[in-house]
Structure 1
Amino acid sequence: MILIILLILFLGWLDFTLGRKSHHRNLRFYDFKKTKGDYNFYSNGSTLFDDMFEDIRCARESVEVLFFIVKTDDLSMHFLDLLQSKAKDGVEVKLVLDRFGSFRITPRKIREMREAGIQFAFCEKPSFPYFFYKMNRRNHRKITVVDNEIAYVGGYNVGKEYIGKDAIMGDWRDYHLRLKGEVVQELRHVFYDDWYLATGEEPPSSFPATSTAGQYEVEVCATDGGQLEDIFLSLIDQAEEELLIGTPYFIPSQRLFEGVLNAIQRGVDVKVILPLKADHAFVKEAGLPYLTRVVKEGGEVHFFDAGFYHAKVIMVDGRLCDIGTANFDRRSLFLNKEVNTLIYDEPFIRDLRETFLEDFESGRPLTEEWIRNRPFITKVNSGIGYLLRPFY
């Protein structure tokens, strides 16, 4: 029996290792460019979905949607029913969902959506070879585009827990953007790249100009298990005074970890916030060795305890910020498809910084005393989590 278990573990490790090598030999690289846009910021799911659903209700020509997770609760069904209604009205509706993240969507519902006129596809369906690796590689992007004029991108998936209606997780803190202007076309290109990979349909070569260009510089950064490490490291290395990191998981690569420590050593004020609660086994423990070192070197780490913290943000010196779908972990860095936005608008970043610091100051600090006296089981779980970090 033990030999069988060891053989299964070895085959899983071999599949994952070879699959990762194959993936990284065939990465999809994206061109990043600064463009113009206007934006609204959301940190409350109810407000976000009220506005997003209203924009979809007002759609006249097209709605393009890509999500990692859509569930089957009331909010999710309302969302899918709204898309069906628009498709019946003659609006062109395309919907792409990650195969594992949205596994709850039933064949019956899919048939119902297609009969209503929705063009639907699952993406990132596991297949041979490297089945285990492809199971782990997910499309973590969340994009909604309405009439080539409005786009949404950020950390929120679709489900009741994301509007604070989960008794276990409580209030859900996340960051999302509503964008207008030229940047909308950049997000459409990302959507249609995934649509092509899911359906085989060639994407449009270009899109009509948006009715407004937008005032502010915005840069869309789509990544496919590559490039993100360099993007994050560039942000960290630019920090001279302050580096703020918000993430649900802190499991960096060695390069990023050294970058954070170097920032502390050169006098940058480094603050990290992440949730006190964990939504996956061992994921919090996997981050503790890194967070412990950050604190010992002089950085500050606080745990958000007023619900679940799922925001993904990096702010540098109050002049540059990154908001999107990517976590500060190895899964986002090397496995998942992600899409982030870089924003250079200092008044916007100043307001965002205040929101960040309110959550940070209200959280529980990770102290050297707790580190010294942490329970033995926490140390054991940290060791297990550390071994599992390539999957996080």
Structure 2
Amino acid sequence: MYVFFLLLALLFLLVVLIGVDLALGRKQSKRRAVNRLIGHKHAFASIFDDGVTFYEALIRDIKAAQHSVDIQFFLVKWDEPTQQLVELLKQRAQEGIKIRFLLDRIGGYRLPRKERQLLRDSGVMLRFANIPSFPYFLYNLNLRNHRKVTIIDQKSAYIGGFNIGKEYLSKEPRFGFWRDCVVKLEGEAVYTFVQVFASDWGDPFHILPKQAPAFDGAQIEAVVTEADGYEDWLLHQIHHARKYLYIGTPYCVPTRRVEAALKRASERGVDVRLMVPTKVDHYVVNQVSFHFARRLIQHGIRINLYQNGFYHAKIVLSDDSWCAVGSANLDGRSLLINKELTITIRQNDLFYAQLLALWKKDEQSSIAASVHDMQKRPWIAKATGILFRPLRNYL
């Protein structure tokens, strides 16, 4: 009996210590967070909605780079596409191109230690972002740099949701076609992302070259967020939606504030729709996602379940006036913890029409979920969603 109570006391102490770590870590993160809206600059914008065309364009631009390549991903898999990219970066560095390769410390752990050294030996500057540290180690372990951006010669930039790995090229059988979204920018707005990368690299006083002159094109605003910055930004957009609000996300795990705002928007007549995948990549997160989807459906919000592969795009469209593409999911990590990068695009009817057309095409490859659909899931799936619901801010 003594041993039982001792173990119980130790378990209680462990839970308290974890809670204190997360609470104080979050408080410190909010205090230090740098959330910025940088704009309004102009650029030509083009869309990539599948991994094959994006990867081909990325490889082509890296091969054609004349001066520099800054490349940042959250996640890399040590498979054929990653190995091809790494070999190209080494080759270009040996040819005299300045290569900076930035990976999140947790998301980049699959890059072999030997390969890291080979990259550095070839002249590639490799760094890891957000290395977990004390104090508040557990919170810092959760605080990830989720941004994805590649900048070529400080003249063009790719921003969006893709990482590097065979599933992103639709080569993973269990996912099939991988639906994602990346925007390529060319023009003065690119210098905004040069600044963002420099800050993440640890070079906040990076001296920018003379900016290219402004020209007609899409009006670009960079939404650079961490801590609860993305939640605040998204709440503002939800509150100002008047006709419709479409959100594409691989996970539907909104915070309490965002869930309440989406319901209120629907109740005041805004056509609120979400696009989420039917296929599962993270079992627990996806079951919690379906749990919240059911609650949103009950308030008149349409939940589209994507059928043609795996849906991984992170997009927002609203009122025929603006749209957004980036790295942020509709989940607690993106809304409250991670470092994220999103771009909003205005004053470009052609780009908006293209993104809206992609949305409508994806809706044709989806089914509108009903409360009955959510309720008829296996009992273990529903139980998982309910059990892990309290952890919504860390999923």
| Fold shared, TM-score > 0.5 on shorter chain | yes
What secondary structure sits across from 2:262 in the alignment? helix
Query: What's the CA shift string for 1:122-170, capped at 9, x where partnerless?
Result: 1111111111111111000011001111111100001111001112222
Matched, 1:88 2:94: yes
Question: Would you say the 8 A contact 1:149–1:211 is kept in 2?
Answer: no
- Give the drift of 1:343: 0.7
- Aligned-partner Cα distance in 2 for 1:205–1:91: 18
Task: Give the match for residue 339 of structure 1.
Answer: 341
Cα deviation for residue 329 of structure 1 reads: 1.2
Task: Report the counterpart of residue 303 of structure 2 in structure 1.
Answer: 301
Of 104, 109, 115, 1:103 maps to: 109
- Partner Cα separation in structure 2 for residue 148 and residue 49 of structure 1: 19
- 1: CA distance, partners of 2:377 / 2:85: 44
Checking the alignment, whether the CA contact within 8 Å between 1:100 and 1:138 is kept in structure 2 is: yes
Per the TM alignment, residue 28 of structure 1 is displaced from its structure 2 partner at its CA by: 1.5
The secondary structure found in structure 1 opposite 2:36 is coil
What secondary structure, in the 3-state scheme, does the structure 2 residue paired with 1:273 have?
strand
1:311 matched to 2:286? The reply is no
Residue aligning to 2:36: 30
- State the partner residue of 2:133: 127
2:195 — aligned with what? 189
Q: 1:227: Cα distance to partner?
A: 2.1
Superposed CA deviations along residues 226-248 of structure 1, whole A, max 9, x for unmatched, are 32112112222222211111101
Is contact 2:249-2:313 (8 Å) kept? Answer: yes
Letter in 1 for 2:383: V
Question: How do 1:283-294 and structure 2 match up within 5 A?
Answer: 283-294=285-296
Q: How many residues align?
A: 388
**1:45-124 alignment to 2 at 5 Å?**
45-124=51-130
Tell me, yes or no, if structure 1 residue 354 matches structure 2 residue 354.
no
Q: What secondary structure, in the 3-state scheme, does the structure 2 residue paired with 1:145 have?
A: strand
Q: Which residue of 2 aligns with 1:232?
A: 234
Counterpart pick for 2:264 among 262, 265, 273: 262
TM-score by length of 2: 0.94
Q: Aligned partners of 1:216 and 1:362: how far apart in 2? A: 29
CA contact (8 A) 2:154 2:191 kept: yes
Q: CA deviation at 1:307?
A: 1.3
- Select between 97-106 and 206-215 the one with higher mean Cα deviation: 206-215
1: CA distance between counterparts of 2:274 and 2:280?
16
- Between 138-147 and 166-175, the greater mean CA deviation after superposition: 166-175
Unaligned runs of 5+ in 1: none
Q: Could you say which residue in structure 2 is the equivalent of 1:368?
A: 371
2:248 aligned with 1:242, yes or no? no
- Whole-angstrom distance in 2 between the partners of 1:322 and 1:277: 24
Query: Relative to structure 1, is the Cα distance of residues 117 and 237 closer, same or farther in structure 2, using a 3 angstrom cutoff?
Result: same
Q: What corresponds to 1:171 in structure 2?
A: 177
Q: Secondary structure at the match of 2:38?
A: coil
Contact map agreement 2:148 2:161 (CA 8 A) in 1: yes
- Quick one: structure 1 residues 22 and 191, their matched pair in 2 at CA, closer, same or farther if it must change by over 3 Å? same
Give TM-score scaled by structure 1 length: 0.95
Give identity over the alignment, percent.
Answer: 32
RMSD: 1.7
C-alpha distance in structure 1 between counterparts of 2:38 and 2:211, whole Å:
19
Corresponding letter in the other structure for 2:230: L
The aligned counterpart of 2:20 is: 14
SS where residue 234 of structure 1 aligns? helix
Q: Cα gap change, 1:66/1:371 in structure 2, threshold over 3 Å: closer, same or farther?
A: closer
Change (3 A) 1:122 1:58: same
Residue 202 of structure 1: how far off its partner (Å): 5.0
Q: 1:208 deviation in Å?
A: 2.8
Could you give the per-residue CA deviations for residues 338-383 of structure 1, whole angstroms, max 9, x where no partner exists? 0000011222212211211221232232212224444432331111
Structure-2 change in CA distance of 1:202 and 1:381 (3 Å): closer
Per-residue CA deviations over 1:246-286 (Å, capped at 9, x if unaligned) read: 10111112221122111111111121110112221311222
**Of the candidates 136, 146, 151, which is equivalent to residue 140 of structure 1?**
146
How far apart in 2 are the matches of 1:320 and 1:337? 23
